Amino acid sequence: MFNEIKSLNEECGIFGIYNSENASQLTYLGLHNLQHRGQEGAGIVSSDGRQLYQHRDRGLLSEAFADPNDLKKLIGDSAIGHVRYSTTGRNSIQNVQPFLYHFLDGDVALAHNGNLVNARSLRNRLEKHGAIFQSDSDTEILIHLIRNHIKDGFIPALKKSLNEVHGGFAFLLLQKDRMIAALDPNGIRPLCIGRLTNGAYVVASETCALDIVQAEFVRDVQPGELIIFDQEGMHIDHFTTQTQLAVCSMEYIYFARPDSIIHGVTVHNARKRMGKLLAQEQPADVDIVIGVPNSSLSAASGYAEELGLPYEMGLVKNQYVARTFIEPTKELRENAVKLKLSAVRGVVQGKKIAVVDDSIVRGTTSKQICRMLKKAGAKEIHLRIASPPFRFPCFYGIDISTRTELIAAHHSVEEMQKILGVDSLRFLSVESLIKAIDIPDAGESPYGGLTVAYFNGQYPTKLDDYEQGYLASLNEQ
Amino acid sequence: MFNEIKSLNEECGIFGIYNSENASQLTYLGLHNLQHRGQEGAGIVSSDGRQLYQHRDRGLLSEAFADPNDLKKLIGDSAIGHVRYSTTGRNSIQNVQPFLYHFLDGDVALAHNGNLVNARSLRNRLEKHGAIFQSDSDTEILIHLIRNHIKDGFIPALKKSLNEVHGGFAFLLLQKDRMIAALDPNGIRPLCIGRLTNGAYVVASETCALDIVQAEFVRDVQPGELIIFDQEGMHIDHFTTQTQLAVCSMEYIYFARPDSIIHGVTVHNARKRMGKLLAQEQPADVDIVIGVPNSSLSAASGYAEELGLPYEMGLVKNQYVARTFIEPTKELRENAVKLKLSAVRGVVQGKKIAVVDDSIVRGTTSKQICRMLKKAGAKEIHLRIASPPFRFPCFYGIDISTRTELIAAHHSVEEMQKILGVDSLRFLSVESLIKAIDIPDAGESPYGGLTVAYFNGQYPTKLDDYEQGYLASLNEQ
Amino acid sequence: MFNEIKSLNEECGIFGIYNSENASQLTYLGLHNLQHRGQEGAGIVSSDGRQLYQHRDRGLLSEAFADPNDLKKLIGDSAIGHVRYSTTGRNSIQNVQPFLYHFLDGDVALAHNGNLVNARSLRNRLEKHGAIFQSDSDTEILIHLIRNHIKDGFIPALKKSLNEVHGGFAFLLLQKDRMIAALDPNGIRPLCIGRLTNGAYVVASETCALDIVQAEFVRDVQPGELIIFDQEGMHIDHFTTQTQLAVCSMEYIYFARPDSIIHGVTVHNARKRMGKLLAQEQPADVDIVIGVPNSSLSAASGYAEELGLPYEMGLVKNQYVARTFIEPTKELRENAVKLKLSAVRGVVQGKKIAVVDDSIVRGTTSKQICRMLKKAGAKEIHLRIASPPFRFPCFYGIDISTRTELIAAHHSVEEMQKILGVDSLRFLSVESLIKAIDIPDAGESPYGGLTVAYFNGQYPTKLDDYEQGYLASLNEQ
Amino acid sequence: MFNEIKSLNEECGIFGIYNSENASQLTYLGLHNLQHRGQEGAGIVSSDGRQLYQHRDRGLLSEAFADPNDLKKLIGDSAIGHVRYSTTGRNSIQNVQPFLYHFLDGDVALAHNGNLVNARSLRNRLEKHGAIFQSDSDTEILIHLIRNHIKDGFIPALKKSLNEVHGGFAFLLLQKDRMIAALDPNGIRPLCIGRLTNGAYVVASETCALDIVQAEFVRDVQPGELIIFDQEGMHIDHFTTQTQLAVCSMEYIYFARPDSIIHGVTVHNARKRMGKLLAQEQPADVDIVIGVPNSSLSAASGYAEELGLPYEMGLVKNQYVARTFIEPTKELRENAVKLKLSAVRGVVQGKKIAVVDDSIVRGTTSKQICRMLKKAGAKEIHLRIASPPFRFPCFYGIDISTRTELIAAHHSVEEMQKILGVDSLRFLSVESLIKAIDIPDAGESPYGGLTVAYFNGQYPTKLDDYEQGYLASLNEQ
């Protein structure tokens, strides 16, 4: 969890609540526990049954809502919120969600986690027919599609529109008198429903956001579902029945908080099992095992436990954020990870070490960490990655949409071991990854109900606008 | 480490550098790695050989130096810096250090970590003779004492003054052409010296601050020493020879970063040993062992390892700070720790758990944590504290100077167990604490060169202004 | 001038520059001299020939551009800017202009001064066809109209669109390679063209903005004109020839800066003549003449001069803005004008005074001023208004679109005299107003080329969306 | 009034109120009307009878008190406040007044308007005896002197101290249960007393600050007086009887607001008389008369009236402050006054003009104004200054303490006329200045109770620390 160190970023977290007092305050809390999913912008839109109220700004939740009045102004019993990591769109306030649209026939707010693979072609078509976009975000396309079908009524228009967009998406919509959640046909992004003791329904990207508002877990939103919350309660509907579960495996490996439960699987437990299976597949002859904080600690402790080795704190994370303009020395510029991580000399000196990390993307961070450990006196470094080599881009919301930057796309494990300067480098197999996660309700879905395309190139959807570039990139290497 | 969750606070961290390019930028970095020692104010004073430049403000380092120009203005090759937790003084900018004083005969800057036990009587005496204080801080007393003796010359005046103040103190002073470090006769606060490859000397509260500026550790400052850095290098002098080592044991238990090395002991290793010895003294019949993040994780892993039990992540810390005005529900107001910690249901549900914590001060946090774990389904909770009961106040810089708030001062272990609502509660013994830390150069110093007064009431210094109140409090219970 | 005291507000000022170095800096300067036209938001969009750059924020220009980088980022040789007073739209950043729209076929920026009378019906029609609006501003309608006609090419589409919108409007548009200015068929809002010594063209709401950038006045934009600035220079075109000059008379009376020249008439001179004609029509038997600062000083000095009476400073304006939350006393809450104006006791005590004001809208301010003067010892107050009674709303950009709040719409002069508590009250006649302004190129246009609808109800355009409400209000009194 | 254009600056304004509800809010209002006396810092200290509360910050009052809570925290029934222009001291928050000192025997707050001529020698002496200064301000000296005599009791110590400081000073002190005002033996700075209808006493630099809080004027504080406000009311005492009135004439000429009454003279009236006497002494053969806004408008109207000439608005002041980093062109950099003033072409073109200004200090501004008028078409410019040539520095609080920068100190009127590029230049005589002001209670005091040293070098006090430098400067020319 916590994407500060990795060069791997998720786009967002979403949270909504319908028909509860303190709706916007509870939404703030929910977003607080989803903050690891996006730190570049935050917003909330509330409804008091008559109109919608919006506040959003750049930065962390605590920065975007720095003034107590920001929240107080968001009156009403329903609210949706969003935390954002900026990927394609520029980091301007115009791209911070939830978006709020004023129509003469009523306001609509919209929050989105995911990425659409046919955004560009849809936007092209829409602009040709006079549509005007206010943001760079693909999220805005949905509202334009809805408006194009609006004469059918809002829900039918929404269903039609959801069938026109492709990719991985979890949408939350708020109107003055109802809240709507929708999930793509593969359920690539996680989305769950909870309930407060006062009867109010809550929707969130992860269960850890239910916990902080003391909501009880009800169920995961299923692929293709459209769930409507209104004065009469919760209505489960769907916009398509052509579905097949393919949850993003990176949620388990890296993004989600360890305390979250996705499709029945506690993230920490899945990670610990990844560590154990990695130990079985790729043991190491070392004195101690250490993890890269914070996302790899679960896997590292599993690895140590399986091999009966001491699990030590060989790296310490500085929880405070340093200003990036502070880089006086060449060494530091080349090793910016130093501002975030420190090696514990008294632990690693003179030791043969298994370093467990959750994944390798560009390799830059891993290289810096290993150099740091060597400098602190480590005798040998055996890098163990608790996931398979990350070789193919993600088009569903992770900030890796080309192969160019992926070290594993262009290098063999042997080459990578040399580049990173470690004594050995080993990865978890795709099979063990699937086995470690083990989604109970995966049914007949391939790959145990997971998207493992990053490792094997087998995408659960068509790639649309990305297809050509992707195919070209496969040949380029 | 990292004092966000505990109700136990250290006053400060200090850092200084003499004769290096980028002096103030390196000081910023050093303070970045000392941020866990104080989050309520930060400041730097630099010297360019002719005059001193100051910037200081309330808040975290990144808030106090929000504008890149704040740092750019601090020109020159020497600098001292300070991060502060406000204890006695009010949280006004006037109390943020380093203090800078302009005299017609030259500027002096001053940064301090610790607490003086005769501050009030000294200030009383000084005010009677016309002295005017600009802050509430006891730090300011030193400069008044120096000015009273200034006709003897600065260094003699400083030595005299250091003999007049009592308590635990680490001082850093900066003049236009030299930097001076001084440590109290018992070495209660840690202070170490490092050296850059460019030959510049660095002084810091903890070695983790040397690491980030890539300074090599030279030595700990010893009790009673006065160390002068000037154009000719480092001069080791002393203001008293009546010394006896008594390092604050809470530095090892809770305050210091796990990667810091104090008097030859790596903090993580000491903590892990505390966990192991605790396991030997106070084993528990449980399924899993968990620690309270972040400061108790080392001890918890030691405890688990010693007993051969699974070490799990049963609590997750939210690394983002929530605004405190967000407390919509009664439950949350009573359990504010929820904003910072979450129980991992998938880990603790149905389990008998040993929860390892580093210490118990007021007991409020522990109580909330245990309640949270129970609510998440824990079957039994056996609380294991990796230090002895905290029964006596600290007068040397920890924010606990009365017994009133100390739960262990007023309750037996049995009573505390009941209050906290746990199935069992056990503490480490003082002997094992000393054995776990095991300072190599403690020599003949009692208690292995540690201050363990918090546990046994044996203070290494006279208590002066606090004496009466303390004695009274002993009888009050 | 300067609308701080009056409860009468103009919507905006616009400024543009094409093909000059320092384009955005010069735009800032131009807006600085147009600040009196709008203080609630400011923005600039620049072009470097390839793309457009935007910065905008709420507040005064100096607040919206508080950070030097805000301006530095606006690179390129062309720019348009806007200062805004919020009327219909909410005071959110989304309503701050210039608006910037990204299309796959190129960016367009848009700034507007004025008000459209058929905005609501156009928006209604557009939304029905799927259009989505991001602001509450009527300005946005133009860009939607353009996009609907875009297949004809941009300029033809723009011309068509300008014929679809009705009301008073001055538009500035910026594309990556050209700037376009357009003025409504009655020229209700002022707009002029200047030229720098470097050959660059400048467009501004008032000539005072040409002066500060040292541009030479070229000509006023004429009703119905569409003027295009591109690499080949300035092209004068028109979107309609059905035009008739009807400049807003309030520009001369109150809004414009006294140094501006609108259609050949220096505003100060027009005001001074209003004062002189007022003196001829409505003399007063008084000791001294005073004006209400700042907008009435020209008229007051004309009034005094014509009657050979001493012109005195009986009211002083505090140029600093007080926080509105500072209102401790009842007296002050009822007399908030005290924060802005003070009576000069040493001038008014024991005197019979002619107070010259430019206009009366709600009457609240006038009442407070007169009470203040009485309290300071004035013996008699003879209020002389240098314009006719303001009886009809404005639909072209002044913040008075209903009759409800207009005191003169509901009361005779005698009643108003009693309400205001003055010894006499007299107004300038419409004929004298026209004579005082005396636009040289008015030609055959009725009312000397002025809009005097506020005084006589004769609007130069159809009222469209406002028609019904307006007619109803006429009967309500 | 209003020192934005002049390069002549006053140090401060002070305001105090004793025993009234809303004390700090009323102090804010009072300072609002004194804002023209200082724009670089503002502060208020209040007392609730038990302790003192302080808020102060850099910038305008509205900036220093940007957050409503800043004021709310200043509880209690008494308060003193200060607005500051930074002269000698650096522009750091430490120099912003009122200063607040915490002593074990009670808090004291201190606000000061003026300048001490023996500050440096006093500080030297005090530092030698161990005193530590926190600011660069000479104000702080008074509190050190008081503390040195404190064994005599506070009031005797204060009296002794007031006899040790020399120069021009108006002090306000606040203790928890009383407020004290003191004025130097020559009454160089203005200070007056007012009373609210609730019986509370108010002290302020100018009467315009009494007006805004609706206080009735009681009396001017007289030279050498020490006035104590406590639960029993107002006590008039004095610290010396060796007094002789010598009010700073620049208060009448330039600093004070036109509505203020100082020693019985309304400032606007004095200025108008200066204009009239100037007209008698130095008429001009011109078409129109214009003034430099805002401080010269009174004199200009007097000048016009006396000669029976039209008084016109030839220059317009932009009331909005431009960021100083906006200076794109060379012309603008050389003529920064353009951001603040504009010539009215339609008024001045082709005219012979008398330009009335209140004073000439460096001459830079006058030169730029005249150039601007010529550029706008003025045919002839006859500059008339409504005060005598400013040839000698001020040591009592105006920001002109050396002769170097004074154009009249180094040039004859003929030379200045040439430098400024005007067709004629004339000044008011010292005799006429005194006659125009005409203080009723001046008694036998020389120069009609005024300090006219700036014009004739006859200082009312010894110059102490400035003596040597001043004498040297006289010879240097």
CB D32 to CB C339 under 8 A? Answer: yes
pLDDT grade for A476, boundaries at 50, 70 and 90: low
Q: Which amino acid is at D251?
A: E
Specify the higher pLDDT residue, B2 or C459.
C459
Nearest residue of chain B to residue D140 (CA atoms)? B132
Q: Taking an 8 Å Cβ-Cβ cutoff, which residues of chain B contact chain D?
A: 93, 101-105, 123-124, 127, 129-134, 136, 143-144, 147-148, 150
Mean residue pLDDT across chain D = 91
pLDDT grade for A174, boundaries at 50, 70 and 90: very high
- Cβ atoms of A192 and A206 within 8 Å: the answer is yes
pLDDT for the residue B5 = 42
pLDDT grade for A29, boundaries at 50, 70 and 90: very high
Identify from C45, C122, C132, C139 which residue to disrupt to test chain A contact, counting A C-beta atoms within 10 A and taking the largest count.
C132
Res. D10: pLDDT tops 60: no
Identify from D196, D320, D340, D356 which residue to disrupt to test chain C contact, counting C C-beta atoms within 10 A and taking the largest count.
D320
Q: Diameter of chain D by CA atoms? A: 73
pLDDT grade for C67, boundaries at 50, 70 and 90: confident
Nearest-angstrom CA–CA distance, B215 and D261: 67
Calculate mean pLDDT across residues B120-147. 89
Calculate mean pLDDT across residues A214-221. 97
CB D131 to CB B136 under 8 A? Answer: no
CB D127 to CB B104 under 8 A? Answer: yes
- Cβ atoms of A159 and A3 within 8 Å: the answer is no
Res. B29: pLDDT tops 90: yes
Three-state SS string over C268-302 comes to: HHHHHHHHHHHHHHCCCCCCEEEECCCCCHHHHHH
**pLDDT tens digits along C410-424:** 999 999 999 999 999
Res. B78: pLDDT tops 90: yes
pTM: 0.85
CB C272 to CB D312 under 8 A? Answer: yes
Which chains, if any, share at least 3 CB pairs under 8 A with chain C?
A: A, D
In this structure, what token pair is assigned to residue B54?
């100051």
Calculate mean pLDDT across residues C319-330. 70
B-chain CB neighbours of D96 within 8 Å are none
Picking from C196, C209, C177, C167, the residue whose alpha carbon sits closest to that of residue C81 is C209
pLDDT for the residue C477 = 52
pLDDT for the residue A319 = 83
Q: Are strands A424-427 and A380-385 parallel, antiparallel or unpaired?
A: parallel
C-chain CB neighbours of D311 within 8 Å are 301, 305, 311
- Specify the range with the lowest mean pLDDT, choosing from A329-338, B85-94, C296-305, D405-414: B85-94
Nearest-angstrom CA–CA distance, D300 and D308: 12
Start-to-end CA span in chain D (Å): 31
Picking from A184, A216, A190, A227, the residue whose alpha carbon sits closest to that of residue A205 is A190
CB D104 to CB B123 under 8 A? Answer: yes
Nearest-angstrom CA–CA distance, D249 and D262: 11
Distance from CA of A148 to the nearest CA of B (A): 40
Instruction: State whether residue D109 is helix, strand or coil.
Output: strand
Distance from CA of C323 to the nearest CA of D (A): 6
Distance from CA of C403 to the nearest CA of D (A): 31
pLDDT grade for C252, boundaries at 50, 70 and 90: very high
pLDDT grade for C469, boundaries at 50, 70 and 90: confident
DSSP-H helix ranges across C261-395: 267-281, 297-307, 330-334, 345-348, 364-375
CA distances from C308 to B48, C155, C351, C384 (A): 68, 57, 16, 16
Which chains, if any, share at least 3 CB pairs under 8 A with chain A?
A: B, C
**pLDDT tens digits along D179-220:** 999 999 999 999 999 999 999 999 999 999 999 999 999 999
Task: Name the residue facing B318 among A26, A33, A344 (closest C-beta).
Answer: A33
CB D320 to CB C211 under 8 A? Answer: no
Beta bridge partners of B219: B193
**pLDDT tens digits along D233-271:** 999 999 999 999 999 999 999 999 999 999 999 999 999
Q: Which amino acid is at D219?
A: R
Cβ-Cβ pairs closer than 8 A, A with B, add up to 179
CA distances from C179 to A222, B342, C189 (A): 52, 57, 19
A-chain CB neighbours of B29 within 8 Å are 322, 326, 328, 332, 339
Beta bridge partners of B427: B385
Q: Is C423 annotated as a binding-site member?
A: no
In this structure, what token pair is assigned to residue C317?
């304006």
A-chain CB neighbours of B267 within 8 Å are 346
CB D132 to CB B144 under 8 A? Answer: yes
- State whether ipTM is beyond 0.85: yes
Nearest residue of chain A to residue C135 (CA atoms)? A102
CB D132 to CB B132 under 8 A? Answer: yes
**pLDDT tens digits along B192-223:** 999 999 999 999 999 999 999 999 999 999 99
**Residue D248 among the catalytic residues:** no
CB C29 to CB D326 under 8 A? Answer: yes
C-chain CB neighbours of A144 within 8 Å are 130, 132
pLDDT for the residue B6 = 43
Nearest residue of chain B to residue D141 (CA atoms)? B132
Task: Name the residue facing A328 among B26, B305, B343 (closest C-beta).
Answer: B26
Burial per residue of D235-272, b for 16 or more beta-carbon CB atoms within 10 angstroms, e otherwise: eeebbeeebbbbbbbbbbbbbbbbbbbbbebbbbbbbb
pLDDT for the residue B8 = 46
Specify the higher pLDDT residue, D170 or B324.
D170
Identify from D134, D139, D141 which residue to disrupt to test chain B contact, counting B C-beta atoms within 10 A and taking the largest count.
D134
Res. C334: pLDDT tops 70: no
Distance from CA of C30 to the nearest CA of A (A): 26
Task: Name the residue facing D346 among C62, C66, C266 (closest C-beta).
Answer: C266
- Cβ atoms of B54 and B98 within 8 Å: the answer is yes
Task: Name the residue facing C147 among A132, A134, A150 (closest C-beta).
Answer: A132
Handedness of CA B329, B335, B340, B345 (dihedral sign): negative
Distance from CA of B27 to the nearest CA of A (A): 10
Q: Which percentage of chain A shows pLDDT scores above 90?
A: 76
Instruction: State whether residue D9 is helix, strand or coil.
Output: coil
A-chain CB neighbours of B329 within 8 Å are 22, 26, 214
* Residue D112, phi then psi, degrees to nearest 5: -140, 135
**pLDDT tens digits along B238-261:** 999 999 999 999 999 999 999 999
Cβ-Cβ pairs closer than 8 A, B with D, add up to 55
Instruction: State whether residue C466 is helix, strand or coil.
Output: helix
Beta bridge partners of A352: A380
From the candidates B12, B192, B208, B394, which is the catalytic residue?
A: B12
pLDDT for the residue C89 = 46
Mean residue pLDDT across chain B = 91
